[in-house]
Amino acid sequence: MVLVGSARRAGNSVVLDRGAGDDGSTELRLSKFHAPEILFGQNSLQEAAHAAGRLGARRPLVVTDAGLTEAGWVSELLRHLREAGLRPQVWADVTPNPKDHEIEAGYRHYVESGCDVVLGIGGGSVIDAAKGIALLSSNGGRILDYEGIDRIANPIPPLIMLPSTSGTGADVSQFCIVTDTARHTKITIMGRALVPDVSVIDPRLLVTMPDWLNAATGLDALTHGIESFVSLAHGPLTDHHALQAISLVNGNLAHTMIHPEDQAARSAMAQAALVAGLAFTNAILGATHAMSHQVGGMLDLPHGVCNAVLLPHVIRFNGATNAERFVPIAQAMGLEVGGVPAVECVEMVAQEVRALSDELGVPKGLAELGVALDDVPNLAQLTLGDACLTTNPRSASVEEIDALFRAAM
């Protein structure tokens, strides 16, 4: 078959623009699939010590936060590291939506302590901070210097991640999201170097999440699944993971809120976060994330909550020109779509997302989160510069992004 059409790059994936082959096909893609080594299962936390030794660690830096320390997971990890003959150092000054100055402080601690491998144990904020520390340790400068795609010149130290939430996918992704405290926004750093070497996923860690974080991160995983499935860079290697994530979140998230000790449901949500992460790190994302980064950066809000408020509006926007892609999404959600026109499936998906958000207690609009109408023009302008917008299935002008923000108020 002859491939016809020009190629462009979305992250580390090559996307062939729509063309016609001699078999009549109209959408052809050549894509890479990035993934770390993955260790998944109950009591797998101890495997992080073996992984660190294999990667040459002698004095690993454990990046974490106060919540994980209080829950006891950090002490368990440190015990395993010490039993493996390692001399771990700890840096636990990460706050939600990690700030530029926090990452730079962590980098200084890494250098001063003579560390060699980075382990992150926590949610997406901890994992992003760990990535940022590793990036600076071999590239120098300020973390904000690396905003954008593939701007990391030098190899970074080995990364081992242990996620404690079920949604961000940061433990398998090529993304690092950092709050720019001067501009009150979030920046996206993306590159193959940021894909961790090892992800250790122990569903036990999810049990100590507070309910609000369980809801927020689960909705983040749902957003990853939906946005990666309709992304311009999607393909057969990502579609399966995206749909599985959507199905797992829809079938288990609400249950874990009512029965937090149910290990089967927790394991299902850990798997949902994993496959959603594998989908979006390779297919990238879309307008929901591009907009959410601006809201979360401005108000220091939970990322998954911002996504959940914005997602139904972006679904309708994208579905207006690409309705067919939402039919499999509706099916993955368990909705009855037999004989239903694709345009109606778009609305069904949007309503199902909102219904789940209502069940989990998510605010209905941005105004309830603290966004004012006067903020919208600046939020819309900042959104245009976000890397996630490049793979949204429908191009969007600043006026259209502005209208989406206003619809979500």
Across the chain, what does the average pLDDT equal? 92
Per-residue model confidence (pLDDT) at position 342: 97
- 45 has pLDDT over 50: yes
Q: Which of 128, 188, 115, 201 is nearest to 157 (CA)?
A: 115
What is the Cα–Cα distance from 118 to 86, expressed in whole angstroms? Answer: 13
In the numeric block, the tokens 């926090």 are attached to 102
What is the Cα–Cα distance from 325 to 336, expressed in whole angstroms? Answer: 16
pLDDT-based confidence at residue 29 (cuts at 50, 70, 90):
low
What is the Cα–Cα distance from 250 to 326, expressed in whole angstroms? Answer: 15
What is the Cα–Cα distance from 123 to 159, expressed in whole angstroms? Answer: 15
H/E element holding 224? Answer: helix 211-230
High-pLDDT (> 70) share of the chain, %: 92
Per-residue model confidence (pLDDT) at position 19: 36
Q: Residue 142 has which token pair?
A: 């300020």
Where along the chain do the CATH 3.40.50.1970 domains lie?
A: 37-206
Q: Are 179 and 186 in contact (CB under 8 A)?
A: yes
H/E element holding 238? Answer: helix 236-258
| pLDDT 10s digits, 148-195 | 989 999 999 999 999 999 999 999 999 999 999 999 999 999 999 999
pLDDT-based confidence at residue 32 (cuts at 50, 70, 90):
confident
Kindly give the residue spans of alpha helices, DSSP state H, lying in 113-160: 124-139
| pLDDT 10s digits, 371-383 | 999 999 999 999 9
pLDDT-based confidence at residue 28 (cuts at 50, 70, 90):
low
Q: HSE on the CB side for 286, CA within 13 Å? A: 31
CATH 3.40.50.1000 fits 211-407, yes or no: no
Residue 314, burial from CB neighbour count under 10 angstroms (0-12, 13-18, 19+):
buried
| pLDDT 10s digits, 217-249 | 999 999 999 999 999 999 999 999 999 999 999
In the numeric block, the tokens 């778009």 are attached to 346
Where along the chain do the CATH 1.20.1090.10 domains lie?
A: 211-407
Q: Are 176 and 230 in contact (CB under 8 A)?
A: no
pLDDT-based confidence at residue 132 (cuts at 50, 70, 90):
very high
- 25 has pLDDT over 80: no
Q: Are 321 and 299 in contact (CB under 8 A)?
A: no
- 106 has pLDDT over 70: yes
Per-residue model confidence (pLDDT) at position 27: 54
Q: Which of 176, 242, 167, 237 is nearest to 201 (CA)?
A: 167
| pLDDT 10s digits, 284-314 | 999 999 999 999 999 999 999 999 999 999 9
- Give the mean model confidence (pLDDT) for residues 9-34: 50
What is the Cα–Cα distance from 244 to 224, expressed in whole angstroms? Answer: 11
Per-residue model confidence (pLDDT) at position 124: 95
What is the Cα–Cα distance from 128 to 289, expressed in whole angstroms? Answer: 16
High-pLDDT (> 90) share of the chain, %: 91
Q: Residue 314 has which token pair?
A: 């972006």
Per-residue model confidence (pLDDT) at position 21: 39
CATH code for the structural domain at 37-206: 3.40.50.1970
Per-residue model confidence (pLDDT) at position 1: 23
SS3 content of the chain, % helix, strand, coil (to 5): 55, 10, 35
| pLDDT 10s digits, 249-276 | 999 999 999 999 999 999 999 999 999 9
- 17 has pLDDT over 70: no
What is the Cα–Cα distance from 252 to 267, expressed in whole angstroms? Answer: 10
